[in-house]
Amino acid sequence: MSLLAYVFKRLLIGIPIVFFVTIILFYIMYILPGDPIKILLAGERVTPERIEALRREWGLDQPVHVQYFYWLSRVVRGDLGISIVARQPVTLLISQRLPYTLALMLTSILLAYIIGILTGLVAALMRGSLVDTALSTMAIVFYSIPGFWLGLILMLIFGYYLRLLPISGYEGPQSLVLPALALALPSSGYIMRLTRAEMIEVLNEDYIRTARGRGLSESRVLLVHALRNAIIPVVVMFFLDLPWLVGGAVVIETLFALPGMGRLLYISILKQDYPVVQGIVLIITVLVVVCNTLGDIVVAILDPRVRVERGEAA
Amino acid sequence: MGDLVSRTLLKIENLRVYYETPRGPVKAVDGVDLEVYEGESFCLVGETGCGKSTLALAIPRLLPPNARIVDGSIVFKGVDLTKLSESQLRKLRGREIAVVFQNPMRSLNPVLRIGFQVAEAPLTHFKVSWREALSIAIERLKRVGIPDVEMRVRDYPHVFSGGVKQRTMIAMMTTCKPSLLIADEPTTALDVTIQAQVLRLLRELKDEYSLTLILITHNFGIVAEMCDRVGVMYAGKIVEIGGVEEVFESPLHPYTRGLVDCVVARRGSKARLNQIPGFPPSLLNPPSGCRFHPRCPYAIEICRVEEPKLIRVEGEHYVACHRAGELDFSTVLADVSEFLSR
Amino acid sequence: MNLARLTLEKVRRLRDNETLKLYLRHKRGLAGLAILSIITCLALTADLIALRGYAEVDLSYRLMPPSPKSPFGTDHLGRDVFSRVVYGARIALWVGLLVVIVEACIGVPLGLLAGYYGGLVDKVISAMTDMLWAFPPIILALAIVTIIGPGLTNVVVAVALVSWAPYTRVVRAKTMSIMSREFIVAARAIGESSFSIMFRYVLPNVLPSIIVLATLTIPSAILYTTALSFLGFGAQPPTPDWGLMLSEGKDYVFNAPWCVVFPGLFLTLTALSFNLVGDALREVLDPKLRFG
């Protein structure tokens, strides 16, 4: 089918998926222990009638599916509720912190992929050589390092001994350097191995031999023929990695005390601030679905074989 | 059939091509001498694994990375290809020497449009504009018989059938009017009905552009149909060379005789199945002396000890056998004449 | 049991196997195996080589740098870091193994079902697997831990519940490729029960892939569980879990870096050793990667 048709089809499927996941999400939040009302009023002395009144006011006495629709209608209007702890709209809290997390995520993923792809290509082309062995070993070491430990070590070296970069809070873009490195380096190892493996496999394919057989220049064979094929799984990985980085961001932001959404999530879980947790997880869910859909679309753009509907060969 | 006495286009002398493996070198081509004349169709025939593909691919040096040309020379139009650098060879590939590979399903790049792929060769070799290269491509694709070329040119390979893919490959390889076209089992992966079409196309192109064709196959039927001269390979060595009629009517080597027997028995009225007993030898550790001796019903003492050299028996007919000329295969004669006249 | 007999036979064949010989020539694989053996020894002999109990507090001896008495120094409660690291190895290996076993118990049957039955069953299972795989595991694990409460066991369950997807995928793919083979078709024609076919024929063939996958997922299992402990949701004090040690030590990282350096180093080495072994196994078993 045409590219456009495929894109529409994927987008169309994406929407019900978001709904479906929000239902699961809402249900999980619903069965979490802890009574939000009691937490909200912690420390205050209230009568049971007051508690019941509040419960009714917040709609917490309704059955699950009714609560879900209330919640959904609010969400669609951009209202994610009020934070129990901060007494401010969740949307406001998140929007204040989202830019930092996005900046961190984008910086680290770009860093990881640039380093990973370049080293992977070099290793594939110089396969079997000392360079390849060195790069491959380094890559495996990198993706064995826990991100939070790497962050601590980086803090120690660059923040303390060398006093080169800030290690806590946000003072400007330079505050993102160490956190981004801590997130990016382990990823880059994995990307390097993936790129290398894909490139090696592609270079063994018959069509590469055909390309060489036509007398095309080696750079043309590598770039136009080989890389064009090998890069496809790597690009797919890019879109899948984006949401995964949010998980890493939670840990890293907490470690480096960055005012991002990840750290907000962590603190909110500790303080049982459910509206905030719910809001953030919703955003992450939407992000996951969007990234996956984008990934599928990009693959369809890059690989024409994917667009074939069953029974569509010439 | 073409004139057999003409200029030599390709001369191979004592070629040895080995593959490096963890278990030792695999001697795929172990001392081959061969001449191919301008304008002829030369068939290289043999069982799977006898080294014929390696021999053919060694010419443009399109071998896997663990293959090495250990010894010998390949002289094409007066130039020894084994001594050329990679960039020098690149100028010849696609331009003077073209290869059509065995498996069309995997030989086309799946993410690039076919018009693009066919146009790349003239773009590289002729330094023309993209538009001109594309029009050459379209003309070529029309020539090989692909319908609706103007529309199909923007399609991707996976929508095409095997036959169309193979014809696209042929178009791709003939855009620059090469002098030598090497076809490595071009029809093995195709349906029988398509096979005939592709072979006919190759024949037509050969006549149109005075191509020299080296055709590799394990199918003697194709040999009879397509070729002027034939070379029989066994275990990395050439055991017999000669004109097609000569080799069919009076095969000199026991192995050739066995092959001819199989073909004729299959097609002839007498349903005799004369199989060659035994299995092809390992190229890692080939048998001593004449490589065929373990399976040869006529082997004598010397066959086990000394490797026979390729000697001329009559005219252009050569054979590598210690008992050349002694053996009488004349019982084959009647069947073969009938077979060839069909 | 048939499965045990088949496995034993495979082990016997392995002895003369080419693959084994190739593995022994793979330097990185050997290095990984060496490191893994050392760490396993540490874990097994912890009681013997530890200098003091992992919970032994000595407040007069806090945050001391490495010395002959305490080769890795002491932490903020005066506990010997070396002893804690060594006991931590036991925890890490144990946790890694458990997580992988639970993951496999969930993922493998699902993969078998999906591959064997195909159709709707496959679609449902694949959809579930894809959705799970796309979601950041840490977030989901956090969610689960919030529901079931903190603690090392709970974290094991949480991480396993979140990362079984690779097992389903691999097993499903292998199952599908095996399904078309003659002996399966024959068995079905005779009328063998699906369950029996899956167990006696498919599973043994899928087993090697599972083993390779296990070696490759143990490191991420260890890393996720320690990350959760680092955040405070996993092991609780005074457990000598490496993640927890990093969390406790991070407040003192500048004046007592050894509290953080050594646990993390061993964590990295453990993950590294599994990764090296798994990687070598994969390269050795896949002929394409070996030569051209």
Question: Which has the closest alpha carbon to B216: B67, B46, B2, B37?
Answer: B46
Distance of CA B51 to CAs B16, B48, B309, Å? 10, 8, 18
- Partnered with residue B5 across adjacent β-strands are none
Question: Residues with Cβ < 8 Å from B188, sequence gap 6 or more?
Answer: B102, B217, B218, B219
Write out the two tokens for B18: 């080995």
Burial class (CB in 10 A: 0-12, 13-18, 19+), C225: buried
Closest CA to A222 of A240, A241, A200, A251: A200
Q: How many whole angstroms separate alpha carbon B16 and alpha carbon B62?
A: 15
pLDDT value of position C97:
92
pLDDT tens digits along B151-166: 888 889 988 888 899 9
Is the predicted ipTM greater than 0.95, yes or no? Answer: no
pLDDT tens digits, one per residue of C8-45: 777 776 665 666 666 666 788 888 888 888 888 888 88
Query: In angstroms, rounded to a whole number, what is the distance separating the alpha carbons of residues B254 and B325?
Result: 11
Tell me the per-residue pLDDT of C203-256, one tens digit each, with 9 for 90 and over.
888 888 888 889 889 999 999 999 999 998 888 888 888 999 999 988 888 888
* Count of CB pairs separated by less than 8 Å, B with C: 8
Task: Specify the pTM.
Answer: 0.84
Q: Do B124 and A308 make contact, defined as CB atoms within 8 angstroms?
A: no
Looking at the predicted structure, is the pLDDT value of residue C269 above 90? Answer: yes
As given in the structure block, the two tokens for residue A288 are: 């996951």
- Which of B62, B112, B125 faces A212 most closely, judged by CB atoms? B62
Specify the DSSP class assigned to residue A309: P
**8 Å CB contact of A213 and B98:** yes
pLDDT for the residue B94: 86
Q: Do B120 and A206 touch (CB under 8 A)?
A: no
pLDDT band of B147, cuts 50, 70, 90: confident
Q: What is the mean pLDDT of residues A59-74?
A: 73
Name the neighbours of C, counting chains with at least 3 Cβ pairs within 8 A. Answer: A, B
A243: left (phi over 0), alpha (psi -120 to 50) or beta: alpha
Tell me if chain C has a CB within 8 Å of the CB of B66.
yes
Angle at B332 between CA B326 and CA B338, to 5 degrees: 145
| pLDDT (tens digit per residue) in B50-102 | 888 899 899 999 988 888 898 899 999 888 998 899 889 998 898 899 999 88
| Cα–chain center distance at B164 | 21
B167 CB within 8 Å of a chain A CB: no
Strand-pair partners of B74: B12
Structure tokens at C28: 């990185």
Q: Are C242 and C266 in contact (CB under 8 A)?
A: yes
Task: Write the residue in A205, A217, A225 that is nearest to B90 by C-beta.
Answer: A217
Residue B237 has pLDDT above 60, yes or no: yes
Residues A254/C138, Cβ–Cβ less than 8 Å: no
Residue of A nearest to C253 (CA): A156
Question: Which two three-digit tokens encode residue B114?
Answer: 């076919």
Tell if the CB–CB gap between B108 and A213 is shorter than 8 Å. no
Best of A135, A144, A289 to disrupt the C interface by mutation (most C CBs within 10 Å)?
A144
Whole-number Å distance between alpha carbons of B76 and B70: 18
Distance to chain C for A243, nearest Cα, Å: 6
C26-291 folds as: MetI-like fold (1.10.3720)
Across the interface, do B124 and A220 touch by the CB < 8 Å criterion?
yes
Lowest model confidence (mean pLDDT) among A43-57, A192-206, A298-312, B262-276: B262-276
B246: how many CB neighbours lie within 10 A of its CB? 19
Q: pLDDT by residue (tens digit) across C66-105? A: 888 888 888 888 888 888 888 889 889 999 999 999 999 9
Name the maximum alpha-carbon separation found in chain A. Answer: 87
Q: How far apart, in whole angstroms, are the C-alpha atoms of residue B59 and residue B82? A: 8
Helix (H) or strand (E) holding B215: strand B212-217
Spans of all domains in chain B: 247-342
Sheet holding B67-76, edge to edge: B24-37, B8-21, B67-76, B79-80
Cα B138-B143-B147 angle, rounded to 5 deg = 70
**B63 → chain A, closest CA residue:** A209
Res A58: pLDDT? 63
Whose CA is closest to B55, among B189, B232, B173? B232
Cis amide prior to C238 (ω within 30 degrees) = yes
Q: Which of residues 201-230 of A touch B (CB under 8 A)?
A: 205-207, 209-218, 220, 224-225, 228-229
Q: Percentage of residues in chain B with pLDDT exceeding 90?
A: 18
Mark yes or no for CB contact B21/C291 under 8 Å: yes
Region B209-235 average pLDDT: 87
Q: Is the pLDDT of residue B267 over 60?
A: no
Token pair 């793919």 in the structure block, residue? C173
Cβ pair A247:C137 closer than 8 A: yes
Cβ atoms of B110 and A305 within 8 Å: the answer is yes
Whether B333 shows a pLDDT value over 60: the answer reads no
Q: A13 to chain C nearest CA, in Å?
A: 12
Residue in A with minimal Cα distance to B174: A214
Question: Which are the contacts of B176, defined by CB distance < 8 A and separation ≥ 6?
Answer: B94, B95, B98, B121, B122, B125, B126
- Taking CB atoms within 8 Å and a gap of at least 24, the contacts of A124-128 are A124/A195, A124/A196, A124/A199, A124/A200, A124/A203, A124/A230, A125/A199, A125/A222, A127/A200
